[in-house]
Amino acid sequence: MAEEQETTENLEDQIEEATEAVAVQANELEELEAGSESGSPLGLGNLTDVPVKVTVEVGRAKLTLSDLIDLRAGSLVELDREAHEPADILVNGKVVARGEIITMNDSYGVRITSLISG
């Protein structure tokens, strides 16, 4: 019984110390004045070096797990688009444009044919 009371008192002391520490930290923060600004605005110029992921999607396919397991080198997967349809160009997962797939030397490329607004 005495051990339980000692443990409870020890726990209460720890809670009190933690509460005081939080109160001290809160008192160290300065109040911000409404409308006060410091520094310069971020601006678009500061964001031009931020990397973004660009993906070109020529189509999609839904397969059963069984069909997926059966895929081998040389297997064909039919996509949900016809050959003449434009590919989607995505930036960070959002469609921003459409274009046609082209070859440039020994590489593939995409020629933008339309931009998606909004």
pLDDT digits (tens, 9 = 90+) for 65-112: 999 999 999 999 999 999 899 999 999 999 999 999 999 999 999 999
In sequence order, which ranges of 1-118 are alpha helices (DSSP H)? Answer: 2-28, 65-69
Q: Percent of the chain beyond pLDDT 70? A: 81
* Model pLDDT, residue 17: 79
Q: Is 87 helix (H, G, I), strand (E, B) or coil?
A: strand
pLDDT at 32 over 90: no
* Model pLDDT, residue 58: 94
Structure tokens at 11: 């726990």
Domain boundaries, the chain: 49-115
By CB neighbour count within 10 A (0-12 exposed, 13-18 middle, 19+ buried), where does 96 fall? middle
What rounded mean pLDDT belongs to the chain? 85
pLDDT at 24 over 60: no
Cα(77)–Cα(96) distance, rounded to whole angstroms? 26
Phi, psi at residue 70, to the nearest 5°? -80, -5
Structure tokens at 48: 């031009």
Looking at domain 49-115, its CATH superfamily turns out to be SpoA-like (2.30.330.10)
